[in-house]
Chains A and B, each alone.
Chain A
């Protein structure tokens, strides 16, 4: 409920800014967006992610955290990339998104390499 109210306030502030300073509007929009994103991250998303991870604690160690973490990372990267694309830098957005994807995969590589190592130890027999 509070979040919804905050969103409305931010929206109104943005509308007001577009009237007050049309030339500065893009940069103000971006800065307010990131500010609000940080705020939401701290107040809503992080606590939810933590409780979610705690909920699935019985799942052996890395899986729940890895899944939640990679989804969060992916979503944030998608948001930022969309923002860049809206500002007109679409290829830069694609590039950053791709880099984040690789970062997510490096999180998983440890698990995968353990399994592949086991499998390939079977292979040599």
Chain B
């Protein structure tokens, strides 16, 4: 459980850092249009880890 927790948090942090740097590199108007993709990645990550947490009991 603890290990999972760590993976979840590090995933969130890594996705955040990665997206922040990528969005810095590309120009502003491209960055605005790329935000849905970043949100999608974060959403999939959160939902997947959540379902992994509770997957065995459902």
Contact = CB atoms under 8 A, between A and B. Distances in A.
Direct contact of A and B (CB under 8 A): yes
Interface stretch (A1-9, A32-40, A84-92, A108-116): A108-116
B18 A56 contact: yes
Interface in A71-125: 71, 74-75, 78, 104, 108, 111-112, 114-115, 118-119, 122, 125
Interface string B1-41: 00000010011001101110110001000100110011011
Question: Is the interface on chain B under 10, 10 to 19, 20 to 34, or 35 or more residues?
Answer: 20 to 34
A64 interface: yes
A111 B37 CA distance: 12
A67 B37 contact: yes
Contacts of B21: 52
Interface of B: 7, 10-11, 14-15, 17-19, 21-22, 26, 30, 33-34, 37-38, 40-41, 44-45, 47-48, 51, 55, 58
Interface of A: 52, 56, 58-60, 63-64, 66-68, 70-71, 74-75, 78, 104, 108, 111-112, 114-115, 118-119, 122, 125
